Structure 1
Amino acid sequence: MNPSDRRYTQDHEWIRVDGDTATVGITEFAAKQLGDVVFVELPEIGRTLERGEAFGTVESVKAVSELYAPAGGTVAAVNAEFESSPELVNDDPFGDGWFIKLKPFDSSALKELMDAAAYDTFLKDAE
């Protein structure tokens, strides 16, 4: 997928919209900061999330980090691959390493998130 298809939070989550479904994950930067991921905890399907609400955790050899919803919505799917392959977070954070899918979701939140260029600038300014 093209990076311009995603929007980003300051907490390093991304969201990508495909029709009426939004897919959520963490950025490559966040995955590298975490180190080797050993466990992922995700919400139950059907849970309703508010924008900014913690919805799960990622445990790595370095730390445990919370995941935050970049938009409100209902959890329509979770990535079951993490049960046997939590390393997908590190190996493919923008592809197979997605966390949840929201449907329906609050698309108005997207305009408040960073595009790829703004996120790159955000990372450079944080250095």
Structure 2
Amino acid sequence: MNFQIPDELQYAASHEWVDRRDEVVRIGITDFAQDELGDIVFVELPAEGDTVDRDEAFGLVESIKAISDVYAPVAGTVVEINTAVREQPELINEHPFEDGWLIELEPTGEFDHLLEPAEYRAQL
């Protein structure tokens, strides 16, 4: 399979992506993860203001095949959630790196453990 792995993002081994944007990071699940899950029908996300630790489950995605936790690739405080994916969870399948993002965090942790695109691609 040929999965999208945008070069400008960093990745977690647990199949989340991280987009570093000035003071915040945007997080979602990878194209590989959404493909493995199948059609996503429900999303549970934290509230704005919640804090999450690195590698802590911050939400879940439910598909027709499975329910999967989503893990925080970095620690931080949730500053925004993508309410569109609550109402249209299929956005994660259709556009995992654009309209299908999940949360934005104000990071409090390091990034050096994240995978570069080539490293992530090699683990698939």
TM norm. shorter chain > 0.5: yes
Residue 106 (structure 1) shift: 2.9
1:101 to 96, 104, 120: 104
For 1:54, the aligned partner's letter is A
Q: Distance in 1 between matches of 2:67 and 2:78?
A: 22
For 2:11, the aligned partner's letter is Y
For 1:99, the aligned partner's letter is L
Residue 107 (structure 1) shift: 5.0
Equivalent residues in 2 for 1:1-127, closer than 5 Å:
3-103=6-106, 105-108=107-110, 110-123=111-124
**How many residues in Structure 1 have an aligned counterpart in Structure 2?**
120
TM-score by length of 1: 0.91
Deviating runs (4+, > 3 A) in structure 1? none
Residue 4 (structure 1) shift: 2.2
Compare the two structures and name the one with the higher helix fraction. 1
**Counterpart of 1:83 in 2: which secondary structure?**
helix
Q: Distance in 1 between matches of 2:115 and 2:89?
A: 27
Which stretches in structure 1 are left out of the alignment for 5+ residues? Answer: none
**Counterpart of 2:48 in 1: which secondary structure?**
coil
Q: Distance in 2 between matches of 1:24 and 1:92?
A: 13
Which stretches in structure 2 are left out of the alignment for 5+ residues? Answer: none
**Counterpart of 1:4 in 2: which secondary structure?**
coil
Q: Distance in 1 between matches of 2:57 and 2:15?
A: 13
